[in-house]
Amino acid sequence: MSSCLKIYNVNLADQATLTPSTENALFPATNLQDYRRSKVYRSTTNSDNLIIDFQESSEVNAIFIVGSKRDGLGVSTVTVEFNATANFSSPAYSVSVPMTEQFGMGYVSFTTVEYRFARIVMTSTLGYCELSKVFMGKEMGLTKGMSFGWTFKDEELSTKTFNRYGQIFADIISRQKVIGLAIKLLDKDDLELLHVMFDRVGEIKPFYIVIGSSTMAVDYRRYSGPVILDDVPTITNGSFNRFNLSMTVKELM
């Protein structure tokens, strides 16, 4: 698959058992499995952890940590540890997740590991730690020859009005990323993988994308994170046994 477009489909954390070290009863850990980004998990101290049981040994090669759009990131540092058991006194593998306050998320990819348990170790300066969404899983394996193009718009959701003196009054909400993707030269196998994803997520459930690389953008996380389909993708048969697909996605809110 093009190194400048990565799609992450199946989130192992969605169906996992979550065990937080501390939990605010008004913001339980199960909120992480709600599709709305406004639903958050909040701990009760500045240094906490959350154990994720995938129920079986599972492959992971990417992690997203996402903050709420309203409040931003509720953590300062995040390290994710993996182990075969829920005893993390000596984890088998660990990885730090670089965070960016500007874009309200953290992302890291790495060589595939396979374990049953993961533990998110987090700190903050807020008196608590807060997470909106967590993704753990594998990149979709689109491997055949392909190319893609994209468009990006940071859509303003706030509304503004003017009085007769030209003064502005704004109902400030936030912005929402809107990305148009054109994926070309797919073969039937890659197209079927995308069909399976579209059948699963519909226009309601999120999936995760990364567009760009460190050589293409100063911080490619601007173009990355949880998204939902804006409409049903359009597929054309551009040439014999090669397919072109176009779709628009919107940032999960």
Q: Kindly report, residue by residue over 89-148, the tens digit of the pLDDT.
A: 999 999 999 999 999 999 999 999 999 999 999 999 999 999 999 999 999 988 666 688
Note whether residue 1 is domain-resident. Answer: no
Residues 168, 87 share a domain: no
Residues 215, 128 share a domain: no
Mean pLDDT along residues 53-75: 96
Range of the domain at 195: 147-251
What is the tally of structural domains in the chain?
A: 2
* SS3 label, residue 195: helix
Give percent above pLDDT 70 in the chain: 97
**Region of residue 112 (left: phi > 0; alpha: psi -120 to 50; beta: else):** beta
Residues 15, 132 share a domain: yes
Residues 243, 172 share a domain: yes
| Whole-angstrom distance, CA of residue 86 vs CA of residue 73 | 27
| Whole-angstrom distance, CA of residue 31 vs CA of residue 174 | 21
Note whether residue 108 is domain-resident. Answer: yes
The whole-number pLDDT of residue 145 equals: 61
Among 102, 137, 172, residue at a domain's last position: 137
**Amino acid letter at 199?**
D
Residues 133, 37 share a domain: yes
Residues 129, 214 share a domain: no
pTM recorded for the entire structure: 0.93
